[in-house]
Amino acid sequence: MRSIDINLVVLLLIFFVTQLPCEVRGENWDDCERQFSFAEDLFNEADYFRAISEYKRLIFLCPGSKQLCERAYFKIGLSYFRANQWRGAREAFGTFLITFPDSLMKPAALYLRGMSEKHLSLDGEALATFARLMETAGGEYQEKATYQSALIFVDREEWDRAGEMFSRIPAESTLFDSARVFSAGLEQIDSLPHKSPPVAGTLAAVLPGAGHLYTERPKDALVAFLLNGFFIWSAIELFEDDKHVTGGIVAFFELGWYTGNIYSAISSAHKFNKRTQDDFIKGLKNRVTVSYLHTGDTRCDGIMLSMHF
């Protein structure tokens, strides 16, 4: 009976020892702090790739220092983000969100992951990440996710969805004025100067070069007019001189130039409309430039807003 009690005591001691914080079990807390401090110094010096290595070293050496490891995982993602390594940042923040699902830094990690996906032109993934952020966070982060989602819809030329997103920004938000500028601008999209592709094609068919002149491309209009005019005149002269074979060959080539003139005029109309629209959207973006700069603080409020009118 006594041996059973001793065995039980030993088992209990082993259990309690395994539950002790790892710094008590062998990890030196001061060494872990120094390691993290070294990685932070590298980060603050913008030596991001060496910082990533040191953060990873900390995670390996001090796996039980949950608070430091949590901050290290986040700063790995932030280091990739600061270095414009969007794919690495996306993967690092994904790992952070899986490893620390209840972290107070979760909103910041979601936002930066979404921004990384936006930079990678992964619009669907970015919208999904921002939607997740809007569902799980409120206040400033919800507004940022809404605003960035609206910008994605602008880039995708989904004007109605973009306007609907901009309208969700509350009046008390620092993003409200920017959203209002975009909303007002999007309402003017339909009133922008427009060239009709059918009209351009018809004009080009009636008179080569007229379609290009309609789409405000006078040099192309002159080339199309002279080129087609020369081939038409040559073909007529050859047929009048009874040189039917040569005239037929010239007429065949002229048919190609003539058809190309029509298609080119139609394409010019589409390009004119696209260029006008892109210039207008670029002007809106230039009127209000919004960027988010992470301060380096690993708390939830570590992202500051920079807005320029």
The CATH code belonging to domain 28-104 is 1.25.40.10
**Residue 153 near residue 126, CB atoms below 8 Å:** no
> Which is higher by pLDDT, 183 or 149?
149
Domain layout of the chain by residue ranges? 28-104, 197-287
Does the reported pTM lie above 0.85? no
Calculate mean pLDDT across residues 285-306.
51
pLDDT above 50: residue 223: yes
pLDDT above 80: residue 143: yes
Dihedral of CA 113/119/125/129: which sign? positive
Q: Which residues make beta-bridge pairs with 289?
A: 308
**Residue 302 near residue 295, CB atoms below 8 Å:** yes
In residues, how long is the chain? 309
In the numeric block, the tokens 């209009």 are attached to: 221
DSSP secondary structure letters along 206-227: HSTTHHHHHTT-HHHHHHHHHH
Using one digit for the tens of pLDDT, what is the confidence trace for 251-263?
A: 777 777 778 888 8
In the numeric block, which tokens belong to residue 71? Answer: 């901050």
Dihedral of CA 107/109/115/117: which sign? negative
pLDDT above 60: residue 19: no
What does the pLDDT read at residue 21?
A: 43
Kindly give the residue spans of alpha helices, DSSP state H, lying in 156-217: 159-166, 176-186, 197-206, 210-214
